[in-house]
Amino acid sequence: MSVRVLLADDQALVRAGFRVLVETAPDLTVVGEAANGGEAVRLAGETGADVVLMDIRMPGMDGLAATREITKSGTATRVLVLTTFEIDEYVFAALRAGASGFLGKSVEAEQLQEAIRVVARGEALLSPSATQGLITRFLASPNAHPDHLPGDLAVLTEREREIMILVATGLTNDEIALRLGISRTTVKTHVNRAMLKLGAHDRAQLVIIAYETGMVRPRPQ
């Protein structure tokens, strides 16, 4: 079954370019295009898109607000933020709002296609190096204060905390399984339990929680 993709960007030429990149893959299908956040929210519901490629800066409702609306709707639609990394705090806020990851707009076709597949599977797309730089700069800013913090991390078991820390470093389920000597299914179970206990929308939000609560500290650049 094809992964249904919605393109959200206020520039028609940008959408056209991404449409070509997406549809060169036989398992990916573009089901709609939105020029602003409001259209993205509406079309995400109407098309049943699996993944929304979301620009942040758009007129009217921006990508940040649209991401929040889509991810709190209770649907299975995932949001993948496309950015130039020029305004890091917006990307961080998008992840906290429920985005499943982010990519630079200069991404190659194969990277974009694989990113869509990863996000569609319910996993987070968080490059360790990009995430490290993003969070380091964000936490160094005077506005690096979360709107809210999750419940007491004591609700997590020792294994759930261990795996959550590894998730925050950017490791995949397969890499975590190999490191800990357990199955991929077991890793996924622990990740899902941690998400449920902390009220995290997905894996990306576990990373945000890990940094916001001090469970993981950014390494010096």
Listed in order, the ranges of the chain carrying CATH 1.10.10.10 are 153-212
Task: For 30, list phi and psi in degrees, rounded to 5.
Answer: -80, 120
Pick the CATH number of 3-138 from 3.40.50.11900, 3.30.565.10, 3.40.50.2300, 3.90.700.10: 3.40.50.2300
**Model-wide pTM > 0.85:** no
Rounded (10°) angle between helices 158-168 and 184-198: 100
Listed in order, the ranges of the chain carrying CATH 3.40.50.2300 are 3-138
3-state helix, strand, coil in the chain (%, to 5): 50, 15, 35
CA distance 186 to 163: 10
CA distance 122 to 105: 22
The CATH architecture one would assign to domain 153-212 is Orthogonal Bundle (1.10)
CA distance 162 to 87: 31
Angle at 134 between CA 165 and CA 166, to 5 degrees: 15
- Please list the pLDDT of the chain residue by residue as tens digits (221 residues): 799 999 999 999 999 999 999 999 999 999 999 999 999 999 999 999 999 999 988 999 999 999 999 988 878 899 999 877 555 567 777 777 888 888 878 888 898 999 899 889 877 666 555 555 555 555 555 455 444 445 578 899 999 999 999 988 778 888 899 999 999 999 999 999 998 898 877 777 787 788 778 787 665 44
CA distance 39 to 207: 29
